[in-house]
Amino acid sequence: MPKNKHIRNTKKYFREPVYNIAGLFTDYLPTPIRWIIGLLLAGLIIVLAGFWGLVKFILGAFWIAAIFLIVALIYHIIKDKKKK
């Protein structure tokens, strides 16, 4: 993605501070630095939530994803039956 294209895309949807932060992360920081920042944020979440909080978060995300997949599967089955 060319430089500043992300900022132009996010300007449509967000006010100034949000797209400035998004542009900082996507346009100006190299990829390894972004990875390090992401890992630091993940570590901060682990420290603040505790280990069991993280486990509950992952299990909750798993169940939400499973529900979405089941709904999508049912939707496609119904759509395919209507096609025939």
d(Cα 24, Cα 29) in Å, to the nearest integer?
7
CB-CB neighbours of 10 under 10 Å: 17
Chain segment 10-53, per-residue pLDDT in tens = 555 555 555 556 566 666 667 787 788 888 888 887 787 787 87
CB-CB neighbours of 14 under 10 Å: 13
Q: Which tokens go with 82?
A: 């209507």
| pTM (predicted TM-score) | 0.37
Taking residues 1-9, report their average pLDDT. Answer: 57
Tell me how far apart the terminal alpha carbons of the chain are, to the nearest angstrom.
42
